[in-house]
Amino acid sequence: MGLTLTNVDVVYGGVIQVLRSANIEVPDGQVVVLLGSNGAGKTTLLRSVSGLLAAELGRVTAGEIRLDGHDLTNADPTAVFGRGVVQVLEGRKVLEHLTVEQNLRIGAHRRSDQKAVKRDLDRVFAYFPRLPELLGRTAGYLSGGEMQMLLLGRALMAQPRLLLLDEPSMGLAPKLVSQLFEVIGRINREEGLTVLIVEQNARAAIRVCHYGYVMEGGRIVLHGSREQLEKNQDVQEFYLGLSLSEERRNFRDVKHYRRRKRWLG
């Protein structure tokens, strides 16, 4: 079943259209990545799923969003959360004046079975062995990498059915980024957790994904499996920074410009 977006349009404030007829499918147990440059509409797409659009005066004006057949179009964020969709916002939004432990416990605030919560806490500690040492620390003073671990841990404490990650690699050192994606891949393999990741760091994200979409100007312009994306010339050139040959290329290369233009169309 999984998550499906069918021809979704999103408009902010009744006038600014940000998503144009987006179609995305996130099958159960897969990691799907959404690539694109700044302002392509990636975050908007995530927010349309989690229901956080309304807080910014956005609305889904056409199309529908379904999870396991349930309609989530323009649903209330608390109701979406109740269906097990947990979004990790971009910009490392820990609850900064609370302790690490309180941050983790708030992930489980809807769950009453304390035994299961305790079990999940141990599971989170197994994925992030640094966290137990940090329990009493104020979350706002953690390092960037520690915060990202805490955020993933907090999301896992909610027993997600679908995890939405918004630019988890932002502002992290390359080594931390690859560690982070490795853990995301492990959680997906070991627990079958479905994940939708929005990323600018295409190289790291493509490596863990099963399927990927590329967005430009509010549209999905390209999609394919990991192998297809890795082989695709345009993706290689625009997102992975690889050029076809070793020789130097001219910036005014007409072909490059035309190809790019075709996308933006």
Partner 1 sequence: MIKLLQVLLDGVLVGLVYGLIAISFVVIYRASRIVNLAQGEVLVVGALLFWTFTLGLQAAGLPVPLVVALLLTGAACVAFGLLLERFVFRPLIGQPAFAIFMASIALLVMLRGFAQLIWTAETRPFPQVLPSGAIEIGPLLMTSRLAIGAAFTVALTIGLHLFFTRSRRGLRLAAVAEDHNTALSLGVSVRSAIAIAWVLGTIVATCGAIVLLSGRIISLDVATIGFKALPVALLGGLESIRGAPLAGALIGIGEALAMAYLDPLTNGVASNVLPFAVMIAVVLIRPQGLFGWKRIERL
- Residues at the contact surface with partner 1, assessed by CB under 8 A: 50, 52, 55, 77-78, 80-82, 86-89, 93, 95-98, 102, 105-110, 140-141, 154, 158
**Beta carbon nearer to partner 1, 93 or 249:** 93
**Beta carbon nearer to partner 1, 110 or 260:** 110
Nearest to 144 by CA among 91, 187, 97, 184: 91
- Shortest reach from residue 77's CB to partner 1, in Å: 5
Q: Which residues pair with 4 in a beta bridge?
A: 25, 66
Write the DSSP assignment of 147-209 as a string of letters. HHHHHHHHHHTT--SEEEEE-TTTT--HHHHHHHHHHHHHHHHHH--EEEEEES-HHHHHHH-
Characterize 123-159 residue by residue with b for buried, 16 or more Cβ atoms within 10 angstroms of its Cβ, and e for exposed: bbbebbeebeebeeebbeebeebbbbbbbbbbbbbbb
Dist CA 74 CA 22 (whole Å): 15
- Shortest reach from residue 116's CB to partner 1, in Å: 14
**Beta carbon nearer to partner 1, 46 or 214:** 46
Dist CA 37 CA 125 (whole Å): 34
- Shortest reach from residue 198's CB to partner 1, in Å: 14
Nearest to 37 by CA among 219, 226, 248, 256: 219
Q: Residue 93 has which token pair?
A: 């939004």
- Shortest reach from residue 240's CB to partner 1, in Å: 30
- Shortest reach from residue 114's CB to partner 1, in Å: 10
**Beta carbon nearer to partner 1, 92 or 219:** 92
The SS3 assignment for 59 reads: strand
- Shortest reach from residue 199's CB to partner 1, in Å: 18
**Beta carbon nearer to partner 1, 140 or 192:** 140
The CB density around residue 30, as the number of other CB atoms within 10 Å, is: 17
**Beta carbon nearer to partner 1, 107 or 168:** 107
**Beta carbon nearer to partner 1, 95 or 135:** 95
Measured CA to CA in angstroms, residue 97 lies from 136, 167, 189, 236 at distances of 12, 23, 34, 42
- Shortest reach from residue 56's CB to partner 1, in Å: 9
